[in-house]
A and B are shown apart, each in its own frame.
Chain A
Amino acid sequence: MPSLPQAIRGWQAGTRLSPIWGVDVYNTANLRVDPLDDDVCLLFIGPVQPARFYSDLPQLRADGNSPVKLWVSLGAYNLIVVTPKDISSIITSWAEGQGLNYERWTINNNKVIDQSYFCNPQKSLDWRNKMAEFSGGRYVKILPIVASEYVALMASTLARAERVTPSMVEMFISIHAALSELVSDEIDSNPVLASAVMANVNAGLSRFSSQAYSGSSPIFATESHFWIHSLLGTAVANIALQKLVDFAAEHIGGVNIPRLLDLLRNIKNNVVDLERGGASSDIFHRDHLGDVIAECGESAEPSLPIITYFSGRDGFKSHHLTLSAPLAAVPACNSLRYSLYTLTHELSHRIIHATLTILCPDRDNESSVSESIALLSERDKPADDWLRAVKRYMLHGIVAINLERMKDQGDKRYDRNRLLEADHYWRPEIEEIMVHVFDFLYFYRRDPNRYVKGIWTSWSTLPNIGDRVEEYIIRTLCAVLSNHLRRGAEMENSARDDVLMALENLQSLQHGLAYISDAVSLLKNDWDRLCEKIKRRKVFVQIVRGFLFSERIATRLASEQFVSGNERERQGYTHNIGVLDLVPFQNPLRYLEAFTTSMDPGSSASAWMLNMLAFNRATSAGVE
């Protein structure tokens, strides 16, 4: 069907559809689709980088007068080929040689009269016994509804992964191991929490499985609930998202920044009284985590596996073992409004959340609370070690921000209850601020223009946040402030100038982005009040810049071996938007950063990007 309205007009109970994109070199780039001749067959092949077909079978390109037609989709079968029957064996032999699955439809009178399919035999890993053991164990006895649903869902996902995305099987097995461990800690003491964790994994698995594996053979027997992709599913988009998250989680999660922070307890030399150190001190620009690595060694740990999926309701959201991205990213991830890059914010939350459990008092742990009260009352001497110094500074930060609520209260001393109450009240905002600073430093590589453009464009898609613009501008200012901590009395003004300039640049693009003019107006007309707020939150900025950021870790996270040439031209990548090729890249985050520059969503540019993210990342087996 050349258009959606035409498809809808003829809709029947069993109708399903998926978008496909034509390819220039196969003369399919125009919208017209001719009725199929009787001597052709339709081949569905995948999942594979379409450029492999082009590279391996040059005799089938249109410029060689070949009658083969080819389209690209986002499904598990992402190559759709219309070919004369006598040529089809060349293609199916190639697919089998490449270890790819395919389904073949024979056409007669424009109807499918025969279907057959080939699934590449994959080595089966020993997951069935593990799942059987689980299904007979105590989890199913204690949580019969959620655990039995989980075990069947996981078995189904694993069985399908074996066929369609064999490289993901191990990931699902490690999800199972991680979930078992997580739940075993809670199942006796807090079965409600255990049930919630498992239910969340079930939601992630069922969405992933429905999205990625519908459209696999036999195509007619499966159905994706993402209705615009109900025929072929969205395996390519799911693979792309999974690879992106795996890379980010491995490179930032694997370093285990909270653990490195905790190891600061072993560094006792030259500890500084941070409260008296002066905000412009170089202390916040030292690579403290690098020092920890040098002193205590580095133990790269496997990061927790994460199930990824697309969700229209959840948007970007992260739980223990799941992470979702908005459904709108599938047809629109080429644009900044729906960029997948926003998931770095969710990953940053995971790290900062763990960090705050180290730095802030734990209300369920009396010794932690007592230590915090004692640290707050320490005066005129540096702490015993760097971890205590940072904790103490954090507590003073909580006290400083709490002044916004306590202006009229006489007694400002902090006892147990007041400290816990202040921590409880401010923790969500403190976490958000630190997440923004962390995201800015590590993932936006300290570039205020890219950062402001990225986050404010993505915020413009959220409804009903007009009354929260001040919160968002404060977070933005705090993030950018981390670039200016050396500028003394000018640091807040410098941050404001950067943010204002970036917002005005966005405004001048005239893309009708929501909330930008409100933010500009706040910065221009209410700066003195905002500036006071920024000053009260500066401690959290300094802690992230000084004790959670490392130039060495950031270099590794942002490193890319496959670039060459001009830095300003797509950061040295040689790919062209819309051109599917076989040139690999090492760092999908950098790739995404370089190619997500459009303000306007476009489904073909998004399909191109998802295919590249799914298939062109160099794997550890090959390069890393």
Chain B
Amino acid sequence: MTGDPIYTEMIIEYSKHPSNFGEIENPDISRHDSNPLCGDSIDLQIKINENKVSDIKFKGKGCSICIACTSVLTELVKGKDLEEVKKIEKNDVLGELGLEHLIRTSPVRIKCALLSLKALKYGIYSYFIEKMKDEKSAGNLKEEATNLY
């Protein structure tokens, strides 16, 4: 299986040893999401300090693509300002793992790859709307999440 476009060394490694796996006490954002067709299911938790992601963790059951992409996403997000986090796009996550091709090649597996990004966008949206009462900062995040895949 050398040269497999999906199951690279990095994906297998992440799926076995995910980054930022676990739970946060009193998170500011807590978002559960799942893919109804395949049963991937994650819980994403974020702690926010001075508009920055001070901590992010996830737990859940998912395939290697889902777990690897979620790991990468948490690494990308951690320590970043919320304004920067809002700008994260599909290819930022997929690119880290060389999975950009999934958008073309696998309409099913792309859902596994982007589940956590969807949860993140929804999570930040609810944070701004519900906790901060700040519709302006929430912006288009909900639409972006809805139209992600």
Q: Do A and B come from one complex?
A: no
Binding site for B on A (CB under 8 A): none
